[in-house]
Amino acid sequence: MQTFSDRVLKIALSIPKGRVTTYGRIARAAGAGSIAAQSITTILGKAYDNGVKNIPFHRIVYADGHIWVSPSHRKERLALYKKEKIELDKNDKIKNFRDILIEFN
């Protein structure tokens, strides 16, 4: 039986290039309530530390379309968005957020 963490990782890995989803949508798709959204980064960070290096962190964004990016990873992260044709405005918000947002069943 898969754990919540297993399901979160599987969902995150399923986000296609050029598309995004939110922390809350991942939490709900994995079987938890929206409050569990706060645990998504921790779960994926642990998976990364345990060897899963292909997690598309840049495709997981806030519910309003804003991205999170640390100053130390900004250049790399912005390059990924550009490569996948995900456009950001000057406030680090995805321009066509609703059009590229993935909803899980």
Domain CATH code at residue 54: 1.10.10.10
- Whole-number Å distance between alpha carbons of 36 and 8: 11
| Residue 81: inside a domain | yes
| Residue 105: inside a domain | no
- Whole-number Å distance between alpha carbons of 59 and 74: 14
Task: Give the pTM.
Answer: 0.93
Confidence at 101, pLDDT banded by 50, 70, 90 = very high
Residues 6+ apart with CB under 8 A from 102: 15, 16, 19, 20, 21, 25
Q: What is the pLDDT of residues 1-33, one digit of tens each?
A: 899 999 999 999 999 999 999 999 999 999 998
Q: How many domains does the chain have?
A: 1
Ranking 2-6, 13-17, 67-71, 91-95 by mean pLDDT, the lowest is: 67-71
* Sheet strands (E) in 1-105: 21-22, 60-61
Confidence at 38, pLDDT banded by 50, 70, 90 = very high
Arithmetic mean of pLDDT, 60-74: 94
Domain that holds residue 64: 4-100
